[in-house]
Amino acid sequence: MGGTIKKHAMKIIRILCVVLLFVVVQNSNAQTKVERWGIYEYTIKGPLTGNPYNEVSIMAIFSKGGISRNISGFYAGDGIYKIRFMPDEIGKWEFETSSNIKKLSGKKGSFECTTPKGNNHGVVRANGLHFKYDDGTPYYPFGTTSYAWTHQGDSLAELTVETLSTSPFNKIRMGLFPKRYRYNFNEPNHFVFSGDKDEFDFTRFNPEYWDNLEKRIVQLMDMGIQADLILFHPYDSWGLSKMTREQDVFYLKYIIARLSAYRNIWWSLANEYHLIKTKSPEDWDYIGKLISEQDVYDHLMSIHNHPKQEFDWSKGWVSHISIQTHDMVHVNDLKVNLQKPAINDECGYEGNLQSEWGNLSAEEIVHRNWTALVHGVYVTHGETFADENDVLWWAKGGHLKGKSVKRIRFLREVVEQLNMNLDYNKPEAGGSNISGGNLNQGMLVYFGNHQPANWDFDFPEGNYKIELIDTWNMTIETLGEKYSGKQSIKLSGKPRTALRITKTD
Amino acid sequence: MGGTIKKHAMKIIRILCVVLLFVVVQNSNAQTKVERWGIYEYTIKGPLTGNPYNEVSIMAIFSKGGISRNISGFYAGDGIYKIRFMPDEIGKWEFETSSNIKKLSGKKGSFECTTPKGNNHGVVRANGLHFKYDDGTPYYPFGTTSYAWTHQGDSLAELTVETLSTSPFNKIRMGLFPKRYRYNFNEPNHFVFSGDKDEFDFTRFNPEYWDNLEKRIVQLMDMGIQADLILFHPYDSWGLSKMTREQDVFYLKYIIARLSAYRNIWWSLANEYHLIKTKSPEDWDYIGKLISEQDVYDHLMSIHNHPKQEFDWSKGWVSHISIQTHDMVHVNDLKVNLQKPAINDECGYEGNLQSEWGNLSAEEIVHRNWTALVHGVYVTHGETFADENDVLWWAKGGHLKGKSVKRIRFLREVVEQLNMNLDYNKPEAGGSNISGGNLNQGMLVYFGNHQPANWDFDFPEGNYKIELIDTWNMTIETLGEKYSGKQSIKLSGKPRTALRITKTD
Beta-ladder partners of A145: A173
CA angle B120, B126, B127 (to 5 degrees): 95
Q: Do A352 and B451 touch (CB under 8 A)?
A: yes
Interface test with A, best of B182, B352, B472, B494 (most A CBs within 10 A): B352
pLDDT at residue A293, rounded to an integer = 98
The C-alpha atoms of residue B73 and residue B42 are separated, in whole angstroms, by 9
Q: Do B360 and A449 touch (CB under 8 A)?
A: yes
Find, among A442, A441, A439, A501, the residue nearest to A469 by Cα: A501
Looking at the structure, tell me whether residues B254 and B201 fall in a common domain: yes
Widest distance between CA atoms in chain B: 105
| Percentage of residues in chain A having pLDDT higher than 70 | 91
Out of A361, A386, A433, name the one closest to residue B355 (CB): A433
Find, among B385, B181, B354, B360, the residue nearest to A488 by Cα: B354
Averaged pLDDT for residues A31-56: 96
pLDDT at residue B433, rounded to an integer = 40
Q: Do A356 and B386 touch (CB under 8 A)?
A: no
Q: Of B415, B449, B465, which marks where a domain is finished?
A: B415
Task: Return the exposure string of A355-391: e unless at least 16 CB atoms fall within 10 Å of the residue's CB, then b.
Answer: bbbbbbbbbbbbbbbbbbbbbbbbbbbbbbbbeeeeb
| Percentage of residues in chain B having pLDDT higher than 70 | 91
> Does residue B119 lie within any of the structural domains?
no
Looking at the structure, tell me whether residues A15 and A64 fall in a common domain: no
Across chain B, mean pLDDT equals: 92
Residue A55 maps to which CATH number? Answer: 2.60.40.10
- A chain contacts of residue B434, beta-carbon cutoff 8 Å: 356, 359
Q: How far is B492 from chain A (nearest CA, A)?
A: 10
pLDDT at residue B422, rounded to an integer = 86
Q: Do B450 and A361 touch (CB under 8 A)?
A: yes
Looking at the structure, tell me whether residues A358 and A210 fall in a common domain: yes
Find, among A33, A27, A62, A68, the residue nearest to A45 by Cα: A27
Q: Of B114, B136, B169, which marks where a domain is finished?
A: B114
Interface test with A, best of B361, B374, B487, B492 (most A CBs within 10 A): B361
From B456, which residue of chain A is nearest by alpha-carbon distance? Answer: A354
> Does residue B420 lie within any of the structural domains?
no
Looking at the structure, tell me whether residues B173 and B304 fall in a common domain: yes
Yes or no: say if A331 and A313 are a contact pair by the CB < 8 Å rule: no
- A chain contacts of residue B470, beta-carbon cutoff 8 Å: none
Out of A356, A361, A495, name the one closest to residue B433 (CB): A356
> Does residue A316 lie within any of the structural domains?
yes
pLDDT at residue B459, rounded to an integer = 86
Out of B356, B361, B386, name the one closest to residue A433 (CB): B356
Q: In what order do the strands lie in the sheet with A497-503?
A: A442-446, A497-503, A464-470, A475-483
The C-alpha atoms of residue A493 and residue A484 are separated, in whole angstroms, by 22
| pLDDT (tens digit per residue) in A261-283 | 999 999 999 999 999 999 999 99
Domains of chain B: total: 4
Q: In which band, very low, low, confident or very high, does the pLDDT at B431 lie, cut at 50, 70 and 90?
A: very low
Q: Of A83, A114, A145, which marks where a domain is finished?
A: A114
Residues of A with CB under 8 A from a CB of B: 352-357, 359-361, 363-364, 386, 431-434, 449-456, 493-495
Q: How far is A433 from chain B (nearest CA, A)?
A: 6
Q: In which band, very low, low, confident or very high, does the pLDDT at A409 lie, cut at 50, 70 and 90?
A: very high
Find, among B497, B505, B490, B446, the residue nearest to B472 by Cα: B497
Out of A364, A432, A451, name the one closest to residue B495 (CB): A364
The conformational region for residue B298 under phi > 0 = left, psi -120 to 50 = alpha, else beta, is left
Averaged pLDDT for residues A57-61: 98
The C-alpha atoms of residue A264 and residue B394 are separated, in whole angstroms, by 55
| pLDDT (tens digit per residue) in B91-123 | 999 999 999 999 999 999 999 999 999 999 999
> Does residue A119 lie within any of the structural domains?
no
At A79, which amino acid appears?
A: G
Looking at the structure, tell me whether residues B233 and B330 fall in a common domain: yes
Q: How far is A434 from chain B (nearest CA, A)?
A: 6
pLDDT at residue A131, rounded to an integer = 98
Q: Which structural domain range is residue A18 located in?
A: 1-28
Beta-ladder partners of B84: B41
Yes or no: say if B475 and B410 are a contact pair by the CB < 8 Å rule: no
pLDDT at residue B368, rounded to an integer = 95
Beta-ladder partners of B342: B321
Averaged pLDDT for residues B238-249: 96
Q: Do B450 and A359 touch (CB under 8 A)?
A: yes
- A chain contacts of residue B456, beta-carbon cutoff 8 Å: 354
Yes or no: say if A328 and A342 are a contact pair by the CB < 8 Å rule: no
For residue A107, CA distances in Å to A7, A31, A42, A98, A449 come to: 33, 15, 10, 8, 65
The C-alpha atoms of residue B222 and residue B208 are separated, in whole angstroms, by 21
pLDDT at residue B435, rounded to an integer = 52
Helix (H) or strand (E) holding B280: none
From B493, which residue of chain A is nearest by alpha-carbon distance? Answer: A352
Residue B380 maps to which CATH number? Answer: 3.20.20.80
Entry pTM: 0.89
Yes or no: say if A251 and A293 are a contact pair by the CB < 8 Å rule: no
From B349, which residue of chain A is nearest by alpha-carbon distance? Answer: A450
Looking at the structure, tell me whether residues B179 and B210 fall in a common domain: yes
Q: In which band, very low, low, confident or very high, does the pLDDT at B417 lie, cut at 50, 70 and 90?
A: very high
Q: Do B493 and A450 touch (CB under 8 A)?
A: no
Q: B89 pLDDT exceeds 60?
A: yes
Looking at the structure, tell me whether residues A442 and A412 fall in a common domain: no
Q: How far is B449 from chain A (nearest CA, A)?
A: 6
The C-alpha atoms of residue A6 and residue A421 are separated, in whole angstroms, by 73
Looking at the structure, tell me whether residues B405 and B468 fall in a common domain: no
Sign of the C-alpha dihedral computed for residues A122, A125, A131 and A135 taken in this order: negative
Looking at the structure, tell me whether residues A250 and A326 fall in a common domain: yes
> Does residue B422 lie within any of the structural domains?
no
Q: B505 pLDDT exceeds 90?
A: no
Residues 6+ apart with CB under 8 A from B319: B125, B126, B298, B300, B301, B302, B340, B341
Q: B430 pLDDT exceeds 70?
A: no
Residue A458 maps to which CATH number? Answer: 2.60.40.3950
The C-alpha atoms of residue B147 and residue B420 are separated, in whole angstroms, by 30
- A chain contacts of residue B390, beta-carbon cutoff 8 Å: none
The conformational region for residue A47 under phi > 0 = left, psi -120 to 50 = alpha, else beta, is beta
Task: Specify the range with the lowest mean pLDDT, choosing from A426-435, A451-460, B201-210, B464-473.
Answer: A426-435
Q: A20 pLDDT exceeds 80?
A: no
> Does residue A393 lie within any of the structural domains?
yes
From A497, which residue of chain B is nearest by alpha-carbon distance? Answer: B361
> Does residue B37 lie within any of the structural domains?
yes
Q: Do B449 and A360 touch (CB under 8 A)?
A: yes
Looking at the structure, tell me whether residues B316 and B175 fall in a common domain: yes
The C-alpha atoms of residue B89 and residue B115 are separated, in whole angstroms, by 9
The DSSP code for B108 is E
From B363, which residue of chain A is nearest by alpha-carbon distance? Answer: A449
Looking at the structure, tell me whether residues B1 and B66 fall in a common domain: no
- Write phi, then psi, for B430 (nearest 5 degrees): 65, -145
Q: A433 pLDDT exceeds 70?
A: no
> Does residue B456 lie within any of the structural domains?
yes
Task: Specify the range with the lowest mean pLDDT, choosing from A65-69, A283-287, A393-397, B18-22.
Answer: B18-22
Interface A–B counts its CB contacts (< 8 A) at 77
Looking at the structure, tell me whether residues B165 and B248 fall in a common domain: yes
- B chain contacts of residue A352, beta-carbon cutoff 8 Å: 451-453, 493
